[in-house]
Amino acid sequence: MSIPETAPTAGRSRARANGWVKSVLRFLVVIVTTYLGLLAVTFFIGRVIPIDPVLAVLGDRAPAHVVERTRELMGFNKPLYEQFYIYVRDALTGNFGTSVLTTNPVMADIRRVFPATLELATLGTIIGSLIGVPLGVLAAVKRGSIADQIVRVVGLVGYSVPIFWLALLSLLFFYAKLRWVAYPGRIDIVYEYSFTPITGLYLVDSLWQGQWDVFRDVFRHIILPASLLGYFSLAYISRMTRSFMLNELSQEYIVAARAKGLSETRIIWGHALRNAAVPLVTVIALSYAGLLEGSVLTETVFAWPGLGLYITNSLQNADMNAVLGGTIVIGSVFIAINILSDLLYRTLDPRTRAR
């Protein structure tokens, strides 16, 4: 009896292993294809824009023989497919060339400015999630009420109002009038040269080193731009939370839970929101990625020395190495966050693992 029972079990194990291997291979193919597509788009953008990268380095008055020699050294005289191969090879090793604006390697500049964007977007996402999820739940539970209408209007304003206009009004009101926040920038000049960051995340570093005066100053600088980003994240998260909760509250298991006499609080927060949290993870992850790539205007208005401001300044100075390098980094982060959200989705929802 043991042999007939063991054979089907071994067959099922092999089938599961093969399915897992195929799933991993498909996953890797999607990642590689997406990243190559990103590199292809940035490569051809760099070739079709009316900016000569050689003249951007040498200037308009450089002699013709110097221009040709530099063009040869930079590889722009090679066939397009060979230029693309070199471009992909350098990008995979983190070599995006030298910035014309700063004369530093682009990757070194990105390592310097990216923590500022990461800290700003992270705090904005935390604010948006902590407020947006409860507001979405409230709107779903009180569907059609005044509370629901208020939440929907708040979300609509978040989608409609240009962020640079709201940023300027916020600076006028909270900084110029009330003096509740610090002036644009990331840290006061008093602490800029006495404070030594470790990770580049000033809030974390100041807490780690026990410098509470620096922490308070950094917090007063970051709270307003982070709140603005959090508000726009809130608008998206609250709307999606409301939609997910309305779908869950109409399910049969909610009717069964009420029939069993469970409290409304337990039904809403312990059952409906728990099931709605599965797709909500993806929503929050995409919102976070959107703040990482879309905080250019916020960083510009608040003089925040992050990746968005770096790309903006580089674009204004025709520094295409820095622009394309920053674009690739942002695209890579977006791909990584999408992959992470997909993995979390599969972890939280057993039905996706079964497919």
Domain shared by 191 and 68, yes or no: no
Q: Which amino acid is at 10?
A: A
Tell me the pLDDT of the chain averaged across its residues: 84
The pLDDT value given to residue 97: 83
Report d(CA 63, CA 47) in Å as an integer.
Answer: 22
Domain shared by 218 and 178, yes or no: yes
pLDDT band at 50 (very low <50, low <70, confident <90, very high): low
Instruction: Specify if 177 maps to a domain.
Output: yes
Residue 182 sits in which domain range? 110-354
Q: Which residues contact 101 (CB under 8 A, 6 or more apart)?
A: 313, 314, 317, 319, 322
Domain shared by 336 and 205, yes or no: yes
Instruction: Specify if 88 maps to a domain.
Output: yes
Q: Is 198 within 8 Å of 208 (Cβ atoms)? A: yes
Cα separation values, 75 from 47, 70, 322, Å:
13, 8, 18
Q: Which amino acid is at 37?
A: G
Q: Would you mind telling me the total number of residues written for the chain in this entry? A: 355
Domain shared by 83 and 201, yes or no: no
Token pair belonging to 340: 């992470």
Does the pLDDT value for residue 144 go beyond 80?
A: yes
Domain shared by 170 and 297, yes or no: yes
Report d(CA 298, CA 304) in Å as an integer.
Answer: 8
Domain shared by 202 and 321, yes or no: yes
Report d(CA 332, CA 114) in Å as an integer.
Answer: 13
Domain shared by 114 and 82, yes or no: no
For the stretch 169-227, pLDDT in tens is 999 999 889 889 988 889 998 888 888 899 999 999 999 999 999 999 999 999 999 99
Token pair belonging to 198: 């470790």
The pLDDT value given to residue 95: 86
Domain shared by 115 and 88, yes or no: no
pLDDT band at 13 (very low <50, low <70, confident <90, very high): low
pLDDT band at 10 (very low <50, low <70, confident <90, very high): low
The pLDDT value given to residue 239: 92
pLDDT band at 1 (very low <50, low <70, confident <90, very high): very low
Q: Give the max Cα distance, the chain.
A: 89
Instruction: Specify if 313 maps to a domain.
Output: yes
| Average pLDDT, integer, range 51-65 | 71
pLDDT band at 127 (very low <50, low <70, confident <90, very high): very high
Instruction: Specify if 101 maps to a domain.
Output: no
Q: Where are the alpha helices (DSSP H) in the chain?
A: 2-48, 53-58, 64-73, 80-92, 106-141, 146-160, 163-170, 189-192, 202-208, 212-249, 252-259, 264-265, 273-294, 296-301, 307-316, 320-348, 350-354
Token pair belonging to 170: 């916020």
Does the pLDDT value for residue 237 go beyond 80?
A: yes
Q: What is the DSSP letter of 50?
A: S
Instruction: Specify if 53 maps to a domain.
Output: yes
* Entry pTM: 0.83
- What percentage of the chain reaches a pLDDT higher than 90? 28
* CATH number, domain with residue 149: 1.10.3720.10
Does the pLDDT value for residue 283 go beyond 80?
A: yes
Instruction: Specify if 49 maps to a domain.
Output: yes
Token pair belonging to 281: 């993870």
For the stretch 23-38, pLDDT in tens is 678 778 877 888 888 8
Instruction: Specify if 347 maps to a domain.
Output: yes
Does the pLDDT value for residue 17 go beyond 60?
A: yes
Instruction: Specify if 97 maps to a domain.
Output: no
> What's the total number of domains in the chain?
2
Token pair belonging to 274: 């728990």
The pLDDT value given to residue 85: 87
Residue labelled with tokens 């604006």: 101
The pLDDT value given to residue 153: 92
Among 39-43, 63-67, 112-116, the range with the most confident prediction by mean pLDDT is 112-116
